[in-house]
Amino acid sequence: MTSLRVAVAGKGGAGKTTLSSTLARLFARQGRDVIVVDGDSNPNVATALGIGRERAEAIEPLPMGLVSRNLKGNAALKEPVMDIVTRYGGLAPDNVHVLKMAMPAHADEGCLCSAHATVSALLADIEELENTVSILDLEASPEHLSRGTTRHVDALLLVVEPYYRSFETAKRMAALASELPIPRVGVVANKLRSPDDASAIAEYCERHGLTLEGELPWSTLVLDADKAEIPLIDFDPTSPVIAAVSKLADKLLQAP
């Protein structure tokens, strides 16, 4: 295996960060080198991975001066990708590396074009790494798609809850993703309380030509783990949610 680059998107509160962090830990336990990029301007992935608050807050965002334009006019890293990961990343349990996208430090700072370009270039260079999985946890906004930040991922997962507004967010993001060279775009149904919930999402996906990649059950253990500030994979490794995410991880390693 060379590399697998996955982006996780969806409506706010759909469960993107829990899914991203759990996937990361599971891939790492399979012996993969894992790099997680927190692409949310309100970063939470480090703590979701199991890094304590103080250490998580001490992780510096990626500087905006890490990229330059190559001869093709594309953003390219100025340094080897693993040098950047080692210098700016934090280390989570199971040896997962986590990076933060640059974020505004003050009001009225202007656009984050350079921050998005840095993440895009990072994902492009990660393709050359052997046995590596990278996961980009996106904020609840289509900006990463409209800016093309996700153009270098191999798979985009759209996390959906069983209600209409969440469905519509996934449909809009899928439409934007179809204009980028992303080979695999799929839906992950989350917080399913009943067979009717699962059927509603499956029917919506079929009606709108969306691929259903995975189904995750509702569990109060997710809330309990979050309150305790402990990753679900450590809080209850036998949770049905962990089993469902593990199944998804195995599926992602298969050819589309």
pLDDT of residue 1: 60
Per-residue model confidence (pLDDT) at position 72: 53
Residue for token pair 């692409």 = 39
What is the spatial distance between Cα 43 and Cα 61, in angstroms, rounded to a whole number? 10
Residues 1-14 have pLDDT tens digits of 679 999 999 998 89
E strand segments, 104-238: 132-138, 155-160, 184-192, 211-217
User: What is the C-alpha separation between 83 and 175, in angstroms, rounded?
Assistant: 35
CATH number of the domain bearing residue 173: 3.40.50.300
User: Count of CB atoms within 10 A of residue 108's CB?
Assistant: 5
Res 108: pLDDT = 58
At 142 the pLDDT is 81
The per-residue pLDDT for 71 is: 47
Provide the domain count of the chain.
1
Q: What is the pLDDT of residue 114?
A: 77
**Rounded CA separation 253/5 (Å):** 10
Range of the domain at 203: 3-252
- Answer yes or no: are the C-beta atoms of 10 and 167 closer than 8 Å: no
pLDDT below 70 — which residues of the chain? 1, 69-74, 102-112, 255-256
Cα distance between residue 227 and residue 211, in whole Å: 33
